[in-house]
Chains A and B, each alone.
Chain A
Amino acid sequence: MNISEFMADHHRACDDEYVKAEGLVVDQNWVEANTSFANAYADFNLHFKREEETLFPAFEEKTGMAGGPTQVMRSEHVRMRATLDELKNHLEAQDKDKFLGLSESFMILVQQHNMKEEQMLYSMMDKVFGAESENLVKQLP
Chain B
Amino acid sequence: MFNSSLSLDQAPPLKIPLRFFITSPIFGLLAGLFILGFVSSLQARSSLSVVVFTHLITLGFLAMTMLGAMFQMLPVTAGVTLKHQQIIAPMVHGLLTAGLLLFAYAFYNYQPTLMIVAMAMLLSAFLVFVVATISTLKNAKNITPTIKAFIGALASLLVALLLAGYLVLSHVNTGFSEYHQAVVYTHIIFSLLGWIAMLIIGVSYQVIPMFYVADAYPKLYTKYAIKVIFILLVGLGFSLIIDNPSLYLLFKVFVALVLADYAISTIGLLLNRKRKIIDTTTYYWYFAMLMLLASIGLSVANEWLHMAQLNTMVVVVFIYGFAMSVITGMMYKIVPFLVWFHLTNEGYMSMPTMHELIGKKLTTIQFILHVLTLLSLAIFAFDSSFQIATGVLMVLSNALLLANLIKGSKIYFTKRGLQKMSF
Contacts and interface: CB of A to CB of B under 8 A. Distances in A.
**Genuine A/B complex:** yes
Interface of A: 15-16, 19, 22-23, 26, 63, 65, 68-69, 72-73, 75-76, 79, 97-98, 100-102, 104-105, 107-109, 111-112, 115-116, 119-121, 123-124, 127
Contact of B79 (A73, A105, A112, A116): A116
Interface string B324-366: 0000000001001100110010000000111110000000000
Contacts of B8: 69, 72-73, 116, 120-121
B76 interface: yes
B83 interface: no
Classify the secondary structure of B's interface with A. Answer: loop
Given A22-B277, A79-B344, A101-B354, 8 more contacts: A26-B276, A73-B8, A97-B353, A97-B355, A97-B356, A101-B352, A116-B76, A120-B6
Contact of B76 (A23, A63, A112): A112
User: Interface residues of B toward A: which range?
Assistant: 20 to 34
B353 A98 contact: yes
Contacts of B396: none
B277 A100 contact: yes
B206 interface: yes
Contacts of A120: 6, 8, 79, 141-142
B213 interface: yes
B275 A19 contact: yes
Nearest to B333: A108
B257 to A, nearest CB: 28
A105 B341 contact: yes
A19 B213 CA distance: 8
B29 to A, nearest CB: 28
B277 A26 contact: yes
B9 A105 contact: no
Contacts of A19: 213, 274-275
Contacts of B231: none
A43 B163 CA distance: 54
Nearest to B349: A86
Given A115-B76, A120-B141, A101 B213 contact: no
A105 B6 contact: no
Contacts, number: 87
Nearest 8 A-B pairs (CB), nearest first?
Answer: A101-B353, A101-B355, A111-B210, A72-B9, A104-B354, A72-B8, A19-B274, A105-B340
A65 B277 CA distance: 40
B136 interface: no
Contact of B337 (A16, A22, A72, A105): A105
B94 interface: no
Contact of A112 (B2, B141, B210, B355): B210
A63 B142 CA distance: 18
B211 interface: yes
A63 B276 contact: no
Nearest to B273: A19
Contact of A104 (B6, B276, B355): B355
Contact of A119 (B4, B142, B275, B356): B142
B354 A65 contact: no
Contacts of B355: 97, 100-101, 104
B78 to A, nearest CB: 9
Nearest to A82: B344
B211 A75 contact: no
Contact of B6 (A15, A26, A69, A108): A69
Contacts of A79: 344
A104 B142 contact: no
B209 interface: yes
B265 interface: no
A58 B125 CA distance: 45
Nearest to A70: B8
Contact of A15 (B274, B340, B341): B274
B302 interface: no
B277 to A, nearest CB: 6
Interface string B202-242: 00001001110100000000000000000000000000000
B275 A107 contact: yes
A124 B275 contact: no
A98 B211 CA distance: 18
Given A109-B341, A115-B206, A16 B274 contact: yes
B41 interface: no
B144 interface: yes
